[in-house]
Structure 1
Amino acid sequence: MLNKKVGLRIKQFRIKKAITQIELSKLIGISQAEISRIENSATQITLYDLEKISKALDVTIASLIN
């Protein structure tokens, strides 16, 4: 359940910042396909990737998981 919320929050913040999945993937060094899987809750996100995504989107980790 938490994973689904995190993926949705990442997508919301990414869209709000007008960043594409491809742009985000280049910023944090993972594939666009992995970004898609994270946003669609098709994979578990690591704390390391969560930290990189939060920095790229300029939000706290807490804002992504709450």
Structure 2
Amino acid sequence: MNEGRLATAPGRLIRQHRLERQLTQAQLARQIGISQSDLSRIEKGEYRVPLDLLFRILQVLELTLGEFFGELNHSPLTPEEQKLLNSFRALSADGQREVLDFVDFLKEREGR
């Protein structure tokens, strides 16, 4: 993710989560103690979100920091990737090491 997009990500995420909860900008702004115009600028990425304000927003939206930023950290897994992950987690530590060794072997064989 490039720097400009990363800087505007919190505002986009605030907007997304606000809309999911069917809150208007005016409603959320009132609950967190700022003007609607300031919230609009935050959502557009024109203003950066101070950390204390972000925590107030998370409290109103009933989100943890991890839930809020979750989409930035993870790409959705395909069903095959999820199956592989679940199977890997079900293995013993020795089994997991064997899988990782085999994956390293396959990557080397394919030149990756």
Task: Verify same fold: TM over 0.5.
Answer: yes
**Structure 1 unaligned blocks of 5 or more:** none
Root-mean-square deviation over aligned CA pairs: 1.2
Between structure 1 and structure 2, the one with the greater Rg is 2
The structure 1 segments of at least 4 consecutive aligned residues displaced by more than 6 Å after TM superposition are: none
Aligned-residue sequence identity (percent) comes to 33
Q: Show the counterpart of 2:7.
A: 3
Q: Residue 18 in 1 paired to residue 12 in 2?
A: no
Deviation at 1:60, TM superposition (A): 1.4
Q: Show the counterpart of 1:44.
A: 48
- What is the total number of aligned residue pairs between the two structures? 66
TM-score normalised by length of structure 2: 0.55
Deviation at 1:64, TM superposition (A): 2.8
In 2, the alpha carbon distance for the partners of 1:4 and 1:19 equals 20
Specify which structure has the bigger relative contact order, considering alpha-carbon pairs within 8 angstroms and separated by 6 or more residues.
Answer: 1
> In the TM superposition, what whole-angstrom CA distance separates every residue of 1:6-26 from its partner, at most 9, and x where no partner exists?
111110000000000000011
